[in-house]
Structure 1
């Protein structure tokens, strides 16, 4: 998952999107049901066969739980939902509740696109949620959203392959050095052709930035307003990634990637890769399509034996767009949506990491077997999972860094030269 969604559209685009909205969609907030209930319009991008029935069951449960509010679910496709949200806020006809990106809450708060929720909740409200998630929804020490779900990354490994390679299946690699040692033992080569690759750091749900954070004691690119892009350990992380491609050969890496797909074609499920980094919901693919795979999960190996197993996380929040006609009713629905009952149901059906602590713990108690093992591992891993909210001083920094990292990995820049340039570029866009 990418760290954030930097969504800034010019006024012309806002106007174009606005004029494409129907008057019925814009005015739904003002409507009431025939029996006088206030209609709360809730926008989400959950339209799949898996997730839509779950969210609509939660909405129906809420609607049945009281007699004053009727929540109407409006599905909007991924991407469209946020441009339409900005346009509707600018026009003064927003939804009442929307699901949005957790790492860009402060951006919307600064731009006055989302409501301050502190007026609707007390200080104890935050105790329901994992602290690193609650911290991510703050702007000027006030909450502007409520965490809904999150993720973290684990190392999945094939126990059968470990046994074949003479490795203890109950002792996964703990450090980068061990990861390299294990990977070489797990490789299977037929002449110059690899039949199985032990590990490759950019496969799975992980990217270069996560390894850079892991190597740099959990530091992101910007920490407390200070740029930490061109650091010695981030340079070493990119050099380390490049070393994997050099050892395996670029043709090998590209040939394996060309075969990647989903479900049964996933290289870990197909047992063509012995170790793989992914989020907790990857377990559902293993459960449904990898029934013969004996696997284990572990934290991502740490940079050294003296450092933590840092991982990177993302997620989504429920928030009230600025100008909602029914903010109090909207907050009542958000309270239910992020409460233990709804969160537990969401986690059970989608295997997501939810933000509500009580809900997550109750899910663990009811799961069994591999499902319980994986979900417990994800919850434990939240302690070393870092979130990277986009600082308001550097709203567009990803677009300055990511292309340079891509070029470093393509060999167009050295890691040192590339990160030096990236830090210089980002320093120029600082907003005072």
Structure 2
């Protein structure tokens, strides 16, 4: 991160601590004397939670003006919306950047533009694929913690056994399916023993397959495009699996697939040779895969060679809910976490890559994941994508998952499934979009006055 931003923030943070220009301070806000207590809700649990807890402890020990009370909260999206509507939100919350369109449209967040400007935080401090997720309606709603990028993961042993070069993954969808044919093994009874690839394994990004086919699922403004060329190409590709391998054998194969976070995971067991996954796989492989498991990471194949390198980048972020009692202090904590030293420690502890534009070489030297640079390069690429900032994307995603299940079961053709999906989701989207247009100008004025 550029040095001037660090210097500016340091002056601002020192001013906050030294002069204590706090708003709404009460006796209940004090801990250990004159410290202001800010409440921070975070969705993480386990090691991810502990990584942030350690940094919170460090922040609390680094100065004597602000005390962060750190709480791990389940179902944070729903609870944060309810707490904000009830007028009793936390000061800081850790959410998924993909939910910022819904939070902001519903007036649940505080715009961070003026805080960021005072701290010298700029778009160029971050990867464009990360910053782009944080800006909705031309306002900045959060600052990042840990990002991820999806990539092709493959089993090198299975490649070698199939006569494929274990260090040469497929680059196009056509190559992926050629590899698939060589990797797939079926016994005399017609049961599938090994599949080269299965689009529904794990099936977490069913609504985003159109990215690798050169398109999207909406037009970026006012219409869903489930029947568009890219999404139709993706659905027809998915439909080719039950056509080639049979509905029954595929259902049987999927029923025998084990729990993801276990040694029964089909990728770890060698039952699926290639899968779309992210940087967290290193930790699961260390914990659940055989000791001699050989794996590689590369961009997921795309329909056209010129789009090779496309990836879905996702990010966790910190926000200040609307109505937070201590927004200045909350932002001081958030900004402290954006400093390179803190950010790299957090991302290293969570086995992710840094969202900052500048990263130290020591970060990569210390990182245990041998493929971490691959994910980072994908996030740096101009082909990097993020989830559509459409108001109904969560509903669209669930509906797309159901449509793909129908296609995989042979219950509907891609054309039928997409047509019905388009009708349902465009109707839902239009209602929410029209409602937003009615309050947009007023909401924008409110944001500008905050």
C-alpha distance in structure 2 between counterparts of 1:334 and 1:415, whole Å: 45
Match status 1:351 vs 2:336: no
Q: Retained in 2: the 8 A contact 1:29–1:325?
A: no
Q: What residue is the counterpart of 1:37 in the other structure? A: 35
Could you say if the C-alpha distance between residues 394 and 46 of structure 1 is closer, same or farther in structure 2, counting changes exceeding 3 Å?
Answer: closer
Q: What residue is the counterpart of 1:363 in the other structure? A: 363
Give the Å deviation of 1:398: 4.3
Q: What residue is the counterpart of 1:193 in the other structure? A: 191
Q: What residue is the counterpart of 1:316 in the other structure? A: 316
Q: What residue is the counterpart of 1:14 in the other structure? A: none
Could you say if the C-alpha distance between residues 423 and 155 of structure 1 is closer, same or farther in structure 2, counting changes exceeding 3 Å?
Answer: same
Give the Å deviation of 1:181: 0.9
SS in 2 for 1:184: helix
C-alpha distance in structure 1 between counterparts of 2:354 and 2:208, whole Å: 21
Deviations 1:176-235 (A, max 9, x none): 1111111111122331233322221211364433322211x1423342444322112321
Could you say if the C-alpha distance between residues 29 and 286 of structure 1 is closer, same or farther in structure 2, counting changes exceeding 3 Å?
Answer: farther
Give the Å deviation of 1:90: 1.9
Deviations 1:24-50 (A, max 9, x none): xxx9995211321000100012232x2
Deviations 1:133-158 (A, max 9, x none): 21222233220111222222111112
Q: Retained in 2: the 8 A contact 1:354–1:360?
A: no
Q: What residue is the counterpart of 1:304 in the other structure? A: 304
Could you say if the C-alpha distance between residues 404 and 162 of structure 1 is closer, same or farther in structure 2, counting changes exceeding 3 Å?
Answer: closer
Give the Å deviation of 1:305: 2.3
Give the Å deviation of 1:256: 2.7
Could you say if the C-alpha distance between residues 248 and 408 of structure 1 is closer, same or farther in structure 2, counting changes exceeding 3 Å?
Answer: closer
Match status 1:73 vs 2:92: no
Q: Retained in 1: the 8 A contact 2:207–2:400?
A: no
2:88 to 77, 88, 93: 93
Q: Retained in 2: the 8 A contact 1:28–1:41?
A: no
Q: What residue is the counterpart of 1:281 in the other structure? A: 280
Give the Å deviation of 1:96: 0.3
Match status 1:106 vs 2:101: yes
Match status 1:83 vs 2:83: no
Q: What residue is the counterpart of 2:135 in the other structure? A: 138
Deviations 1:291-330 (A, max 9, x none): 2012211110111224334232333210001111110000
Deviations 1:338-390 (A, max 9, x none): 3322221122222124423335865223336xx23x11111111123311243
SS in 2 for 1:197: strand
C-alpha distance in structure 2 between counterparts of 1:227 and 1:29, whole Å: 51
Residue ranges of structure 2 left out of the alignment (5+ in a row): 1-24, 435-450
Q: What residue is the counterpart of 1:171 in the other structure? A: 168
Alignment of 1:414-429 (within 5 A): 414-429=413-428
C-alpha distance in structure 2 between counterparts of 1:100 and 1:360, whole Å: 26
C-alpha distance in structure 2 between counterparts of 1:163 and 1:392, whole Å: 45
Deviations 1:161-189 (A, max 9, x none): 22221111121111111111111111223
Could you say if the C-alpha distance between residues 113 and 376 of structure 1 is closer, same or farther in structure 2, counting changes exceeding 3 Å?
Answer: same
C-alpha distance in structure 2 between counterparts of 1:400 and 1:189, whole Å: 32
Could you say if the C-alpha distance between residues 256 and 376 of structure 1 is closer, same or farther in structure 2, counting changes exceeding 3 Å?
Answer: same
Q: What residue is the counterpart of 2:54 in the other structure? A: 57
Q: TM-score, normalised by structure 2?
A: 0.82
Residue ranges of structure 1 left out of the alignment (5+ in a row): 1-26
Aligned Cα root-mean-square deviation (Å) = 2.5
Alignment length, in residue pairs?
Answer: 399
Q: Retained in 2: the 8 A contact 1:153–1:205?
A: no
Q: What residue is the counterpart of 1:118 in the other structure? A: 113
Match status 1:237 vs 2:252: no
Could you say if the C-alpha distance between residues 158 and 393 of structure 1 is closer, same or farther in structure 2, counting changes exceeding 3 Å?
Answer: closer
Could you say if the C-alpha distance between residues 256 and 85 of structure 1 is closer, same or farther in structure 2, counting changes exceeding 3 Å?
Answer: same
Q: Retained in 1: the 8 A contact 2:223–2:426?
A: no
SS in 2 for 1:172: coil
Q: Retained in 1: the 8 A contact 2:299–2:378?
A: yes
SS in 2 for 1:264: coil
Give the Å deviation of 1:107: 2.4
